[in-house]
Amino acid sequence: MDNLWITRRKAVQNLVDNSAYLTGVLRFMLSREPVCRCSSQRVVKLMGALCLLLGSIAINVQPAVASQTDMLKLYAHSRIVNDVQYQCFIKLIHKENRSWDVNAKNGSHYGIGQMRSKHYRELDAYRQIDQTLKYIKVRYGSVCNAWRYHQKHGWY
C-alpha cells in the first residue's frame, strides 16, 4: 500500500506543478509591466499563454456546411448507385453546367442538364436531375454511353 501511495503522489504532484505554472501564466498576462524586458521565463510563459489561446480558438471552430452543389451531387449519387456511372454523370454535367446552376441558360438549353424543354427550366434542381437521368436512360441506355457520345460529338 505504501508503494501505491508514493507512485500516485508523483502524478498528483505533477498536476499541482502544472496548475502553479498556469496560474503564473495568468498572472503574467494580467500584469501591466512592459513586455520589452523579456527574460527566458517570460518567453516560456508567453508561449504557454499563446498555446492556450490557440487551443481555445481551435475548440470553437464551426463544422463545415455542405454547399447546394454538394447536396445535388449527393442526390444524384442516390439515384445512380453504380459509382462508374455516377462518375460519368459528374463529368457530363461538369461539361454542360460547371456550377450545377438550376437557372443556367445556354441558347435554348436550360438548367443543370441543359435540356431544351421549357417545362424543364421550371423544375427544381432535384427534378432536373431526375429528368436528365430519365432522358439519358431512354436515349442512351446508360450514363456512360451518354458521356462517350458527348466526348465524340460535344453534346448529348
Q: Name the percent of the chain lying above pLDDT 70.
A: 68
Q: What are 130-141's pLDDT values in tens digits?
A: 999 999 999 999
Type of residue numbered 85: Q
Cβ contact 150:92 at 8 Å: yes
Q: What is the structure's pLDDT at 19?
A: 56
Consecutive H or E run containing 14: helix 2-30
Q: Is-contact 145 91, C-beta < 8 A?
A: no
In the predicted model, what is the mean pLDDT of residues 43-59?
72
Arithmetic mean of pLDDT, 54-70? 73
Whether this model's pTM surpasses 0.85: no
22-31, 34-43, 67-76: range with highest mean pLDDT: 67-76
Tens-digit pLDDT profile for residues 112-125:
999 998 899 899 99
Least confident of 9-18, 81-90, 127-136, 143-152: 9-18
pLDDT above 90 for 2 = no
Exposed/middle/buried for 126, CB within 10 Å: 0-12, 13-18, 19+? middle
